[in-house]
Structure 1
Amino acid sequence: MKSVIVKAHPLRCEIIDTPIPQPGPDEVLIKVIFCASNPRDWKAPDHLIPGIEINQGNEMSGIVEAVGNNVYEFQKGDRVAAAHPMQTENGTYAEYATAPVNTCFLLPPNISFEEASTIPFALCTAAIGLYQRLKIPFPTSPESTQVQPPLIIYGGGSSIGAFTLKLAKFGRFEKVIVVCGSGRPYIESLGVATDFVDYRNCNVVSDLKAALGGKKCFHAVDAINDSNSFRHLSQVLAPEGSCISVYLPRLDYSDIPPWISVGITFFGTVHNENMDFAYALFRLVGRWIAEGKMSGHPYEVLPHGLESVERGLWMLKDGSVSAKKLIYKVSDTPGISPV
């Protein structure tokens, strides 16, 4: 099968021929219809985990081809979306990829493969940040009906930021304040943000304080993770009992004052401490989609399938992508038989 290896310095991709992987005991093998890119896919080999050149793809939708010996929920032919474990072989930039059952869900008939491919990695990461790190009551908890203090989301147009907003609709907050730029129209369409701060005005801290209107804020999601974002948030959070959820575990967060808790949100925890949480979440996601309570992220299908992964990663690296996911139809790859 065809598989894309992501390399760095300079950023480039190589399509190789490799054997079709076999699922482990608790995994499914998926014939990939669509795969999606995330910023970490270029950041990992570039500076987060330099020197490792593998298939960095983590999100996909497709059809189950085979299941492991312990798998009883899925069978060959099922329409699914799934997240592949980061920094492991058999990633999703390929004709076939594996995924553990706890990060795989069945697709209801009201969602396309395209839309579904934008969901698994980003939604699960957003959920870990909101519920496991910030300790916001989970939607099935009786406490979810209680009004929570204001929530700030820095980078609402990113996929993690947008899915955090969609999850916030299941709860109740005094305010939901979003820091964003050109992605504001899409964020407004979600119907959950109460206030907006445009980072391009270069007055983020004062504008956040104005949006809070004197209310104390204890919870913030930093879906951007540059030095300015968490530094800005540190200046507006209450000096006691506050927490910022961040998404890049290897960054230096020493600029965040010691009285603010840093909740490092790492998708990889779905394979250990958050395994059961992810399992339950992904079972709910399918139902939420079927009931119209959850949807995917806006997307752009780049032409030529896997050949365009390199172009997509460059677009993410140079910052030319806003409020949408870049996805690829694997069968559009030259030399691969169309579905």
Structure 2
Amino acid sequence: MQLTTTQYQAIGKGGPFAVVSVPKPTPGHNEVSIRMEAVALNPLDWKKLYFGAMVESWPTVLGIDGAGIVEAVGEGITRYKTGDEVFSLFGHETKAASFQEVAVVPEHYVAKKPGNISFEEAASLPICYCTAGSAIYYGLQIPLPFLPDGTTSGPQPKSILVLGGSSGVGASAIQILRLALPSATILTTSSSKHHVYLESLGATQAFDQKSPSLIEDIKSATPEGKGVEMILDAVASSASQKDIFDTLSADGPKEYSEVFTGTPTLVPDGVKRHVVYGRKLFETPGGQNVMTALADLVRKGDYKIPIQVKNVGSGFEAIGPGLEELKAGVSATKLVVTI
């Protein structure tokens, strides 16, 4: 039996990376051990690497998204067995991070991979879906009707604006909002080349984020032209576009849900600001079902891969250059690596 496993360790702040052999972790109670087949790269990964964000000590292992095959299960696990194809959100601590050969995560982070998507596509899903769901449920208090045992009562706004619709979180939020609010006016901003696609995901209308008439155009598209009731900001757009709050209806609830990015933002008086993180979604009523609900939606075709998936290479050595590409900037694209 193999007693060691391989980690792609960041040796220190700013790098370099090293491929290191370590003892193979054993799953504990209600934990699942996953042999990685594919990982996705996220902005949090390069922010950890270059700024040390959320890193307690070096060396460390990064990676918060991935998919693979169940290697072993701990005591209390009945939902999964060795050999199952799964995808998962991964953790911040070394044994639970995804940039390694075998990782161990809590059972509720895991779901069986739908047969209609690849390991690479599955790896691209978890954190964007969880962050969008958290922004909707915690930031705007809108219930998620597809979540078993979840809250069923809450606000039902008639209009909402998603800033950064072509980001992974933004495109996820559009789909979740359409499931939660079938008849609402869901507006979004992005580059014009993404408009048709975002409308196919469920947006009522998409607007050019750089248009000089953006504020007026958004308000004109809302019921009675009064403006939107709520804003979900997936990419800290308000930091550079401070007049975006003028799209809010003067007599509406003025709710603003902001995905935490580390970018400082200022919110006008009278606007209710809620800063959200992806993992908080597991704390909702029904939170233990967050990932399995996602798998069901994908399996049924009710939730699409939010943005283009680009494979930047195979093997651990492709991760470092992939993070450099991500840091330099990509548009409407999720970078993944086949392990």
How high is the TM-score relative to the length of structure 2? Answer: 0.85
The 10-residue stretch of structure 1 (124-133 or 289-298) with the greater mean CA deviation from structure 2: 289-298
Query: Are 1:81 and 2:93 an aligned pair?
Result: no
Residue correspondence of structure 1 range 186-225 to structure 2 within 5 A:
186-190=197-201, 192-201=202-211, 204-212=214-222, 214-225=225-236
Q: 5, 9, 20: which one pairs with 2:24?
A: 20
Instruction: Quote how far apart the aligned CAs of 1:71 are.
Output: 1.8
- Determine if the alignment matches structure 1 residue 4 to structure 2 residue 13: no
- After TM superposition, the structure 1 stretch with the greater mean CA deviation from structure 2, 128-137 or 276-285, is 276-285
| Number of the residue aligned with 1:313 | 323
CA pair 23-124 structure 1, distance change in 2 beyond 3 A: same
Q: Give the superposition deviation at 1:201.
A: 3.4
SS at match of 1:172: coil
CA separation of 1:313/1:229 partners in 2, compared to 1, >3 Å: closer, same or farther? Answer: same
> Bigger CA drift: 74-83 or 168-177?
168-177
Q: How many residues align?
A: 324
User: 1:227 Cα shift?
Assistant: 5.1
Moved more, 81-90 or 125-134: 81-90
Q: Secondary structure of 1:269's partner?
A: helix
* Matching residue of 1:164: 173
**After the TM superposition, which residues 160-309 of structure 1 pair with which residues of structure 2 at under 5 Å, given as runs?**
160-170=169-179, 171-181=181-191, 182-190=193-201, 192-201=202-211, 204-212=214-222, 214-225=225-236, 228=239, 231-238=242-249, 241-248=253-260, 250-253=262-265, 255-270=266-281, 273-274=283-284, 276-297=285-306, 298-309=308-319
Letter aligned with residue 254 of structure 2: S
Q: What 5-or-longer segments of structure 2 have no aligned partner?
A: none
Deviation of the 1:250 alpha carbon: 4.8
Candidates 326, 330, 337, aligned match of 2:335:
326
Deviation at 1:91, TM superposition (A): 0.9
* Offset at residue 216 of structure 1 (A): 3.4
Shift of 1:7: 6.5
TM-superposed deviation, 1:154: 0.9
CA distance in 1, matches of 2:92, 2:238: 24
- Give the secondary structure class of the aligned counterpart of 2:187: strand
CA contact (8 A) 1:58 1:121 kept: yes
Query: How far does residue 121 in structure 1 lie from its aligned partner after superposition?
Result: 1.5
Maintained 8 Å contact 1:150/1:173: no
3-state SS in 2 of match to 1:41:
helix
Could you say if the C-alpha distance between residues 308 and 201 of structure 1 is closer, same or farther in structure 2, counting changes exceeding 3 Å? farther
Q: Mark the CA change 1:113 to 1:186 in structure 2 (over 3 Å): closer, same or farther.
A: same
Q: Deviations over 1:167-224 (max 9, x none)?
A: 122122431111111433432332x112222123355434433443623322211111
8 Å CA contact 1:137–1:143 kept in 2: the answer is yes
Q: Select the residue among 26, 38, 56 that pairs with 1:34.
A: 38
Aligned equivalent of 1:152, options 161, 180, 185 = 161
2:134 paired with 1:128: yes
Percent of residue pairs identical: 26
Given that residues 249 and 264 in structure 1 are in contact (C-alpha distance below 8 angstroms), is that contact kept between their aligned partners in structure 2? no
> What secondary structure does 2:199 align onto?
helix
Q: 1:261 to 1:56 in 2, by over 3 A?
A: farther
- One-letter code aligned to 2:200: S
| Structure 2 Cα separation of the partners of residues 243 and 123 of structure 1 | 21
Distance 1:287 1:51, change over 3 A: closer
User: What SS does the aligned partner of 2:77 have?
Assistant: coil
C-alpha distance in 1 between matches for 2:286 and 2:257 = 17
Q: State the Cα distance separating 1:32 from its structure 2 match.
A: 0.6
> Is 2:116 the partner of 1:110?
yes
Unaligned runs of 5+ in 1: 331-339
